[in-house]
Amino acid sequence: MADASQARSPLTRYVLYQIPGWLLATLGGLVLYRMVGASGWVALAVPVFWAIKDAALYPFLRSAYETDDRPVIERLVGLDGVTTEALTPRGYVRVRGELWLAEPIGATPIAAGQQVRVEEVRGMTLVVASAEGDGSR
């Protein structure tokens, strides 16, 4: 069963999670129509606008519905970050707003405030290379 849920596309997963909201919006429209005395078009507009809102938000939320079985730290490989202190030989870098212990590739220290790219992971330590002044990137 777990394999089937991971095989679903992000759009399918998003739509399935939106169904309860659509049902509640429909119920809200019915309550407005029956109990408050709103016109029929208002009752119909509530779930329609709710669905339009969900469709408009999907491009911004798509990545949250993608699956990735790799550990979080391994997903950082290839991302850019900034050193918060000199990496001599170890220090901290900020990647996606989080601080991670890092060390440079090779013995060359990297100064604080420098752009770096995560090249690999060793345990819970990121191995980074300077992203500045490297014409090959």
Domains and CATH numbers, the chain: 2-65 (no CATH), 72-130 (2.40.50.140)
Taking the C-alpha atoms of residue 48 and residue 26, their distance in angstroms, rounded to an integer, is: 9
Do residues 106 and 75 lie in contact, with contact meaning Cβ atoms separated by under 8 Å?
Answer: no
User: pTM of the full predicted structure?
Assistant: 0.55
Mean pLDDT of 94-122: 93
Q: What does the pLDDT look like over 7-35, one tens digit per residue?
A: 789 999 999 999 999 999 999 999 999 99
Is the model's pLDDT at 134 over the cut of 60?
A: no
Burial 36-73 (b: 16+ CB within 10 A, else e): eeeeeeebebbbeebeeebeeeeeeeeeebeeeeeeeb
Q: Which amino acid is at 132?
A: E
Is the model's pLDDT at 103 over the cut of 90?
A: yes
Considering only residues 70 and 21, tell me which one the structure prediction assigns the higher pLDDT: 21
- pLDDT value at position 135? 43
Strand (E) or helix (H) holding 94: strand 91-95
CA 134 to chain centre: 28
Is the model's pLDDT at 137 over the cut of 70?
A: no
Whole-number mean pLDDT of the chain? 89
Q: What does the pLDDT look like over 23-67, one tens digit per residue?
A: 999 999 999 999 999 999 999 999 999 999 999 999 999 988 888
Is the model's pLDDT at 4 over the cut of 80?
A: no
